[in-house]
Amino acid sequence: MNAVIIAIAVMFILSLARVSVVLTLVISAIIGGLVAGLSLSETVAAFNAGLGDGAEVALAYAVLGAFALALSKSGLPDLLAHKLIGLLGAEASHQKTKKVKYLLLTILLIAAICSQNLIPVHIAFIPVLVPPLLKVMNHMNLDRRAAACVLTMGLVGTYIFLPVGFGAIFLDQILMGNINKIGVAYNLHVERWMMPMGMAIPVIGMLIGTIFAVFVSYRKPRHYIDHAVARVTTIDLDKPIRAGEVTLQADAKELQQEAERAPIIAKKTIFMALLAIILTLISQLYSGSMILGGLVGFAVLSGAGIFKWQEADDVFVQGMRMMALVGFIMISAAGFASVMTHTGDINSLVNGVVHIIGENKALAAFLMLFIGLFVTIGIGSSFSSVPVLAVIYVPLCVQFGFSPLATVALIGTAAALGDAGSPASDSTLGPTAGLGVDGQHDHIWDTVVPTFIHFNIPLLIFGWIAAMVL
> Quick one: pLDDT band at residue 147, thresholds 50, 70, 90?
very high
In contact, 392 and 353? CB cutoff 8 Å? no
How confident is the model at residue 95, as a pLDDT? 52
Would you say residue 466 has pLDDT above 50? yes
Q: Distance (Å, rounded) from C-alpha 38 to C-alpha 338?
A: 13
Judged by DSSP in three states, 410 sits in helix
How confident is the model at residue 453, as a pLDDT? 92
Task: Kindly give the interhelix angle for 267-287 and 40-73, rounded to the nearest 10 degrees.
Answer: 150
Q: To the nearest whole percent, how much of the chain has pLDDT over 70? A: 81
CA atoms in the 13 A half-sphere facing the CB of 18: 5
> Quick one: pLDDT band at residue 196, thresholds 50, 70, 90?
very high
Q: Distance (Å, rounded) from C-alpha 4 to C-alpha 112?
A: 33
Question: 452-461: string of b/e by CB count within 10 Å (b at 16+)?
Answer: bbbbbebbbb
* Range scoring the smallest mean pLDDT among 95-104, 191-200, 234-243: 234-243
* Range scoring the smallest mean pLDDT among 45-59, 250-264, 337-351, 397-411: 250-264
In contact, 112 and 155? CB cutoff 8 Å? yes
How confident is the model at residue 461, as a pLDDT? 94
How confident is the model at residue 251, as a pLDDT? 55
CA atoms in the 13 A half-sphere facing the CB of 304: 22
* Range scoring the smallest mean pLDDT among 2-6, 249-253, 286-290, 377-381: 249-253
In this structure, how many other beta carbons lie within 10 angstroms of the beta carbon of residue 355? 8
Q: Distance (Å, rounded) from C-alpha 175 to C-alpha 38?
A: 30
pLDDT average, residue stretch 9-20:
75
> Quick one: pLDDT band at residue 254, thresholds 50, 70, 90?
low
> Quick one: pLDDT band at residue 413, thresholds 50, 70, 90?
very high
In contact, 425 and 141? CB cutoff 8 Å? no
Would you say residue 245 has pLDDT above 50? no
In contact, 155 and 420? CB cutoff 8 Å? no
Q: To the nearest whole percent, how much of the chain has pLDDT over 90? A: 17
Of residues 12, 9, 15, 28, the one with CA closest to residue 442:
15
> Quick one: pLDDT band at residue 150, thresholds 50, 70, 90?
very high
In contact, 284 and 292? CB cutoff 8 Å? yes
345-403: pLDDT as tens digits: 777 776 776 777 777 889 889 888 887 787 777 666 677 677 777 777 888 888 888 99
Mean pLDDT of the chain: 78
Judging by DSSP bridges, how do beta strands 225-226 and 231-232 pair with one another? antiparallel
Task: Kindly give the interhelix angle for 404-420 and 194-212, rounded to the nearest 10 degrees.
Answer: 40
Nearest 5°: the CA angle 300, 306, 308 is 105
427-449: pLDDT as tens digits: 888 888 888 888 888 888 899 89
How confident is the model at residue 203, as a pLDDT? 95
pLDDT average, residue stretch 70-97:
66
Judged by DSSP in three states, 231 sits in strand
Contacts of residue 286, defined as CB under 8 A and 6 or more positions apart, other chains included, come to none
| 3-state DSSP percent of the chain in helix, strand and coil, to 5 | 80, 0, 20
User: What's the start-to-end Cα distance of the chain, in Å?
Assistant: 35
Would you say residue 90 has pLDDT above 90? no
Would you say residue 418 has pLDDT above 50? yes
Would you say residue 234 has pLDDT above 50? no
How confident is the model at residue 127, as a pLDDT? 73
> Quick one: pLDDT band at residue 244, thresholds 50, 70, 90?
very low
Output 427 or 148, whichever has higher pLDDT.
148
> Quick one: pLDDT band at residue 320, thresholds 50, 70, 90?
confident
In contact, 47 and 332? CB cutoff 8 Å? no
Amino acid occupying residue 111: A
Q: Distance (Å, rounded) from C-alpha 379 to C-alpha 53?
A: 12
159-170: pLDDT as tens digits: 899 887 778 778
Would you say residue 229 has pLDDT above 70? no
Whole-model pTM: value is 0.73
Of residues 314, 139, 303, the one with CA closest to residue 228:
139
How confident is the model at residue 100, as a pLDDT? 76
In contact, 78 and 72? CB cutoff 8 Å? yes
